């Protein structure tokens, strides 16, 4: 079993990136389960996904003790909460939210066999602990085995959950230490969580094999499994034509204008999903399947579902009941929308939005799964 896991907040920027990652995960038929850990408050509504399982975790930005606003605290904190709550014991493919899959990476790893993406510009070459530059001298006060060699790796990572569980608390602690102690004219370092990870991994003896797991927009070859699109994408004339920081969700893009290579392949993927999403074409790729053990009953005009995972019966309104009746393990989401459109004469876009919302809620309530249709 392999879990593909990524941690996000609950913003519009987080949502479009998560949807695109989910689409790429579906496209390459990555094995296992896709899990999105959402660091947000208890009162916030969780985002919708057809295939990814969405798990709420506590937010650690700002840090509850340091009061430091740094979104990367959420990564070790959310992973620790999830692994402990669900007692995960499996291989994990850990991605950043700005990653997409170009090819399936179904490689399961045993304990002690972690693989990490190469971190070519990791700080090094000084007399501070771990061979780090001089500005990290303060780590003398916080680290005991200061001569350890740091594995030059970063996300994406392939690691067994038992290895990751060992280092998560220390990873979170060291991120706070580095953010609090580091002092430069430029302010606190933006790579604190990356450096904290490799120090924690070294301290706990979790060996990592560096490997090129992720492409960047400038790479000509596109044979790696993962693409990191955090850097701007340029044209053949080196003009910036797309930037993650300024992109408006689901706006059209022009892949043909990009320089040949990974950047163009990414924009092609983005354009495909943008077109599919605008026409609700993704409905044909997903089929609701009733979960085993769900029983239904009608009382007057109300339909009730007994779901094994719920203590109380689930009450469906008229529209949700009509959608449930069409979940026969054969129809796709598109088939359900077309059947209802023909029956009720409701505008297509409005109906598709209602069907998507209702099926998402049935999935959250444990009545159905949404699987990839052939």
Kindly report the CATH number assigned to the domain that includes residue 180.
3.90.550.10
218 located within any domain: no
- Phi/psi for 155 (5° steps) reads -65, 145
Q: In the chain, what percentage of residues exceed pLDDT 90?
A: 66
Same domain, 192 and 161: yes
Query: Looking at residue 189, what is its pLDDT?
Result: 66
Same domain, 318 and 236: no
Whether the pLDDT of residue 67 is over 50: the answer is yes
Same domain, 152 and 294: no
- Mean pLDDT, to the nearest integer, of 7-21? 94
Same domain, 310 and 327: yes
222 located within any domain: no
Whether the pLDDT of residue 84 is over 80: the answer is yes
- Mean pLDDT, to the nearest integer, of 268-277? 92
Number of domain units in the chain: 3
Cα-atom radius of gyration of the chain, to the nearest Å?
23
Same domain, 75 and 115: yes
Whether the pLDDT of residue 186 is over 80: the answer is no
- Mean pLDDT, to the nearest integer, of 312-317? 89
- Mean pLDDT, to the nearest integer, of 227-245? 95
- Mean pLDDT, to the nearest integer, of 192-201? 97
Lowest-confidence range among 148-157, 231-240, 311-320? 311-320
- Mean pLDDT, to the nearest integer, of 325-332? 89
Query: Looking at residue 374, what is its pLDDT?
Result: 59
Confidence of residue 188 (pLDDT cuts 50, 70, 90): low
- Mean pLDDT, to the nearest integer, of 71-78? 97
- Mean pLDDT, to the nearest integer, of 76-86? 98
- Mean pLDDT, to the nearest integer, of 140-167? 96
362 located within any domain: yes
Of the two residues 25 and 296, the one the predictor is more confident about is 25
Same domain, 317 and 276: no
221 located within any domain: no
Q: In the chain, what percentage of residues exceed pLDDT 70?
A: 97
Lowest-confidence range among 38-52, 63-77, 93-107, 147-161? 38-52
- Mean pLDDT, to the nearest integer, of 279-301? 82
Confidence of residue 299 (pLDDT cuts 50, 70, 90): confident
Select from 211, 238, 254 the last residue of a domain.
Answer: 211
Same domain, 59 and 115: yes
- Mean pLDDT, to the nearest integer, of 139-145? 95
Rounded Cα gap, residues 77 and 279, in angstroms = 38
Same domain, 362 and 252: no
Q: What is the pTM of this model?
A: 0.84
219 located within any domain: no
220 located within any domain: no
224 located within any domain: no
Same domain, 239 and 264: yes
Select from 211, 241, 268 the last residue of a domain.
Answer: 211
Whether the pLDDT of residue 183 is over 70: the answer is no
216 located within any domain: no
What average pLDDT does the chain have? 91
Whether the pLDDT of residue 184 is over 60: the answer is no
Same domain, 321 and 177: no
Select from 177, 211, 245 the last residue of a domain.
Answer: 211
Enclosing domain of residue 303: 284-372
Lowest-confidence range among 204-213, 257-266, 296-305? 296-305
Query: Looking at residue 276, what is its pLDDT?
Result: 85
The secondary structure of the chain, three-state, reads CEEEEEEECCCHHHHHHHHHHHHHHHHCCCCCEEEEEEECCCCCCCCCCCCCEEEEECCCCCCCCCCCCCHHHHHHHHHHHHHHHHCCCCEEEEECCCEEECCCCCCCCCCCCEEEEECCCCCCCCCCHHHCCHHHHHHHHCCCCCCCCCCCEEEEEEEEHHHHHHHHHHHHHHHHHHHHHCCCCCCCCCCHHHHHHHHHHHHCCCCEEEECCEECCCCCCCCCCEEECCCCEEECCCCEEECCCCCCCCCCCCHHHECCCHHHHHHHHHHHHHHHHHCCHHHHHEEEEECCCCEEEEECCEEEEECCCCCCCEEECHHHHHHHHCCCCCCCHHHHHHHHHHHHCCCHHHHHHHHHHHHHHHHHCCCEEEEECC
For 93-141, how does the pLDDT look when each residue is reduced to its tens digit (9 = 90+)?
Answer: 999 999 999 999 999 999 999 999 999 999 988 899 999 998 899 999 9
- Mean pLDDT, to the nearest integer, of 321-335? 89
Query: Looking at residue 187, what is its pLDDT?
Result: 53
Query: Looking at residue 185, what is its pLDDT?
Result: 41
Same domain, 175 and 289: no
Same domain, 159 and 236: no
Rounded Cα gap, residues 259 and 216, in angstroms = 12
Residue 359: which CATH number? 3.90.930.60
Of the two residues 47 and 186, the one the predictor is more confident about is 47
């Amino acid at each position: 079993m392999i879990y593909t896991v990524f941690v996000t907040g609950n913003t519009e920027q987080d949502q479009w990136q998560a949807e695109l990652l989910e689409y790429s995960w579906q496209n390459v038929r990555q094995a296992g389960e896709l899990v999105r850990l959402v660091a947000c408050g208890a009162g916030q509504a969780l985002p919708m996904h057809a295939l990814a399982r969405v798990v709420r975790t506590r937010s650690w930005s700002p840090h509850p003790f340091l009061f430091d606003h740094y979104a990367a605290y959420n990564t070790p904190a959310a992973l620790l909460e999830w692994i402990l709550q669900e007692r995960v014991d499996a291989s994990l493919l850990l991605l950043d939210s700005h990653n997409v899959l170009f090819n399936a990476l179904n490689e399961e790893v045993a304990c002690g066999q972690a693989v990490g993406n190469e971190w070519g510009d990791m700080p090094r070459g000084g007399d501070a602990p771990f061979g780090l530059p001089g500005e990290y001298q303060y780590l003398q006060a916080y680290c005991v085995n200061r001569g350890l060699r740091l594995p030059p790796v970063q996300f994406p990572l392939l690691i067994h959950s038992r290895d990751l569980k060992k280092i998560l608390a220390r990873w979170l602690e060291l991120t706070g230490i580095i953010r609090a102690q580091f002092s430069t004219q430029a302010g606190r370092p933006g790579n604190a969580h990356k450096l904290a990870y490799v120090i924690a991994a070294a301290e706990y003896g979790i060996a990592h094999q560096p490997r090129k797991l992720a492409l960047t927009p400038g790479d000509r070859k596109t044979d790696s499994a993962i693409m990191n699109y955090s850097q701007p994408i340029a044209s053949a004339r080196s003009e910036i034509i797309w930037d993650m920081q300024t992109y408006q969700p689901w706006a059209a893009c022009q892949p043909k204008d990009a320089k040949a290579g990974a950047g163009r392949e990414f924009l092609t993927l983005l354009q495909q999903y943008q077109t599919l999403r605008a026409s609700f074409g993704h409905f044909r790729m997903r089929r609701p399947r009733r979960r085993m053990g769900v029983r239904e009953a009608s009382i007057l005009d109300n339909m009730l579902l007994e779901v094994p995972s719920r203590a109380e019966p689930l009450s469906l309104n008229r529209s949700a009941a009509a959608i449930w009746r069409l979940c026969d393990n054969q129809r796709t989401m598109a088939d359900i929308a077309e059947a209802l459109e023909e029956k009720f004469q409701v505008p297509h876009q409005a109906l598709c939005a209602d069907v998507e919302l209702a099926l998402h809620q049935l999935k959250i309530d444990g009545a159905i799964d949404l699987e990839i249709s052939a």
